[in-house]
Structure 1
């Protein structure tokens, strides 16, 4: 969160923000680029685990969707970092960033399966559903950070808005 809150912070400022000495931070990551690389790598690892736990290819669609959102909310700090830091040119910098393209394909495949099973609407493409899910999740996490939504409400709000929208039924 220190990187998100102060993207131009020096290593000294980042070390202070996370409660370690500059020497400790420097031993772990001697440059700002190494910090970013390490955070992206950890994000990829955690998101891989969340996707695997959701069993997107085999679990009932609603159960898989809910597990996917829960998995990302468990690591919302990493999600905020990625959503606030990611830029297309990062795909060229290291292997871990190539996973983001694979994540999109995994989500697209999940939403297509949900459409084929009659769970998700078919008048919106699977790719659009993937982007909407990521965007809504990002918006909710950022809203929680600013105090506009309670952490305990995030999963239910995401599920209700994504699955049924804002229209009063």
Structure 2
């Protein structure tokens, strides 16, 4: 039985992502704990959802901090960021849409800061010549988060493997949706 709050949150986040109306009983059952254990940790559904949001924001912050501490944007920075795509997927999937988080000033501020840092990091990738420069960095950051969300949902539904997701995200970020011949230098 899981009794560590971080483990419980890791198990509960996908439940809420797939079923926005999931009750505390449903979340507890799918997380593999009793409802009593869940309510001891998080007395209300609102507190549970807010704890999920805080964990997601903390995870995004850690991933960005690791990337930001490296001097100069490289392929390895992009690979590291993409390898940690799940919290960015969860940011878009839960933090931006869950009613118990929406409008909470601290969560909103943190989410906006994380997105601004993601934009700045990808702008650095453009400046370094790693990422395309014909699109605004806000578009690239939104695309990354959108691809992360799609990959995470597909892994939750069993349509793709968890090890495939980072490779697929990177391929689309660096090469778009065209065939390899269509994205060759000079091709349009």
Distance 1:29 1:142, change over 3 A: same
Aligned residues: 165
Aligned to 1:141: 152
In the TM superposition, 1:1-169 aligns within 5 A as 1-55=14-68, 58-72=71-85, 76=86, 78-85=87-94, 86-87=96-97, 90-167=101-178, 168-169=180-181
Give the conservation status (yes or no) of the 8 Å contact 1:4–1:80. no
Give the Cα–Cα distance (whole angstroms) in 1 for the partners of residues 48 and 29 of structure 2: 15
Distance 1:101 1:57, change over 3 A: farther
Unaligned runs of 5+ in 2: 1-13, 182-188
Give the Cα–Cα distance (whole angstroms) in 2 for the partners of residues 5 and 115 of structure 1: 34
Unaligned runs of 5+ in 1: none
Give the Cα–Cα distance (whole angstroms) in 2 for the partners of residues 79 and 60 of structure 1: 19
Relative to structure 2, which stretch is displaced further, 130-139 or 147-156?
Answer: 147-156
Task: Please report the TM-score for the alignment, with normalisation by the length of structure 1.
Answer: 0.85
Distance 1:7 1:29, change over 3 A: same
Distance 1:142 1:56, change over 3 A: farther
Structure 1 residue ranges (4+ consecutive) displaced by more than 6 angstroms after TM superposition = none
Give the Cα–Cα distance (whole angstroms) in 2 for the partners of residues 124 and 115 of structure 1: 9
CA RMSD for the aligned pairs?
2.1
Instruction: Name the SS for the 2:149 alignment partner.
Output: helix
Give the conservation status (yes or no) of the 8 Å contact 1:108–1:130. yes
Give the Cα–Cα distance (whole angstroms) in 2 for the partners of residues 37 and 88 of structure 1: 9
Q: CA deviation at 1:97?
A: 3.5
